[in-house]
Structure formats: structure tokens, C-alpha cells
Amino acid sequence: MNIYDIAKQSGVSIATVSRVLNGGQKVSEKTRKKVLAVMQQEDYTPNVFARGLGLNSMKVIGILCTDVSDTYYAKAVSLVEELLRKNGFGALLCCTGNELADKKKYLDILLNRRVDAIILIGSAFKENSDNSHIESAAKQVPIIIINGAADLPNTYCVLCDERAAVSRNVQLLHRQGCNDILYLYDVLTFSGSAKLAGYKEGLRRCGLPLRNQLVLKVPKALPQITQEVSALLQKHTVFSAVLASEDLLAVGALKALQSAGLSMPVIGFNNSILAQCASPALTSVDNMLDTLCPTAVKMLVDILNGKETPQKIILSAKLIERDTFHAAASNV
């Protein structure tokens, strides 16, 4: 018996049960008595989730990311850990890699360490087939997903509308006279799929055809990215601008273009340090990580305090224009 079962048996939300446990005022006396009666009937002892509501709390939050060496994940982990510390929480970080079995293993490790909640960083934790491990974990503690989404009980998401951002970029490039836009991606996670859908949507909005040869999956390694784009140039594949799902991919494209003596608009994604260090400076989409992380931590604190919390918050991205946005467009 856990808090999820108590909520289901009482016919109320998990948030309502948490408010009862926390002594919250926004619960009617009738509802409070009904929840307490179910707890007494089931001989329910508040578990780690309840402790996170101020009842002998461990004050420790678990953090999962796939690869902390990735600049995006590294920044997110740093922001989240600092914000948790300012709110009086410690953090336990596990880097899972991309294998589902390892994600499940480390999720169990955090639950066994009796954390008060778990933050998943990035959309790689949303599987295409089976998300039962997340659903099961959410029956024990709140799950917060940063820049990912899973429609599950006691699971909360804060994410950037990346599909809309890429669609807008296609339309911006089209207005600059770019009708053949190369799109580079590396993986089709929830985020990666949203970006690719945005590329296709942008083409439709501009009345442009989808050319499969301009949708290129590349390894996430700079030499290979450069090699793949150079191979397209050598085959005389026609394109007049480049969109990439991440800044590293855009930088690889830039190197290939420079080697060929070509200049055209190139737009990356994540607005990472790579975009600022690239030469020329790379135009990139800011997917609002500096806002996503504080929003996620505030959401978590509100949940643990039994406050009403939306299950999903969506933010708009922002295009940061640098040198590569204004590069002269020329069909290869």
C-alpha cells in the first residue's frame, strides 16, 4: 500500500492525499476524514513520499541524466543541484547511459536510497514503448522531467516547445530565400522527434517539399559529422541552409562548409558554449534551460509542500542570432 493506492481508494488525487499528510488547509473536512479513514483501514504508514512533505524528510532528491559529459546535461545538472541546495535539499546524481536496463537499474537505486523525489533530465527517459518503470517509481515518489514529457500519475513535466521553434526557423530561412534546408539530427528521443516534426511542419507551412536526402542522421562526434556533410557536398546535393538538432552537429556542418569555401545560414540548438565559441559565432535556439531548471525545482518544492501544481508547463524557445544567421545563402 502506497500513497498512489490511498489516493485511488479514496477517490482523490495524489496531491490531495499529500495535503492531508502535510496538514494543508485547502482540503475540506469531509475529504480529510475520508482519506484518513482509508489510511486507518489499510494500516497505512506514510512512506518516503510523505516524509518528503515534512514528516521526517530525508531532504535528498535523486537526479538522473544519461551522460553528464554532454554540455547540455552538465549545465542542467549544475543548475538543478545548486537550486536544490538553496532550497535545503541534497542531491544524488546517477548517469545511466542510454540503455533501458541501466535506466531502470539506477531508478531503483535512487528509490532504495529513500530519496524524496526524482528529477529526470532530458527526454531520453521517455521510451517509445514501455514507461512502466517511471509509472512504478511515481507511485512511491514524485517524478519531475525536465524537457521531456510522460503522461503518468504523479509525474510532472516542464519542457520547451522545440517543435514550434524548429518550424519557425524553417520559415525564417524560407523568407531569406532558402528553399533547400539540410536538417541534421543524431537521435530520435522525445526531444529529437519533436524537432524533426517541427522541420517537416515548417516545410509544409512554406509549401516546400520534403526531400529525404536533406534529412541526415549523423553520429554525435565532430569528425564524423564534418565527414558526412562533406560527403553530401561532394555528391553535389543541393542545399542553401543548415538546421541542426544540437549545436555540435551545426559546428560539424560549419567546418565542412568552411573546408569547401562555402557560406550559408546555419542554425544550431541548445545555445551552448559551443555556439559562442564557434567561428563564425553560431546562431542557436535557446531552449530556455536557465528557466526550465528553476521552474522544475519550484514545481518540486510546491509538490512536496502539498500545493496545487500543474502536471505540465511548456515554455517557448528563443532564437539567438549570431554571425551564421546572416551568412549569405548560396545553393551548393
The domain of 21 spans 3-41
pLDDT digits (tens, 9 = 90+) for 65-105: 999 988 889 999 999 999 999 999 999 999 999 888 999 99
Q: What is the mean pLDDT of the chain?
A: 89
Residue 35 domain-assigned (yes or no)? yes
Residues 213 and 143 grouped into a single domain: no
Residues 180 and 264 grouped into a single domain: yes
Residues 30 and 65 grouped into a single domain: no
Residues 173 and 259 grouped into a single domain: yes
Kindly report whether the global pTM for this prediction surpasses the value 0.85: no
pLDDT digits (tens, 9 = 90+) for 239-275: 999 999 999 999 999 999 999 999 999 999 999 999 9
Say whether 255 sits in a helix, a strand or coil: helix
Q: Is the torsion defined by CA of 133, 137, 139, 145 positive or negative? A: negative
Task: Work out the end-to-end distance of the chain between its first and last CA atoms, rounded to an integer number of angstroms.
Answer: 64
Residues 277 and 297 grouped into a single domain: no
CB 300 within 8 Å of CB 234: no
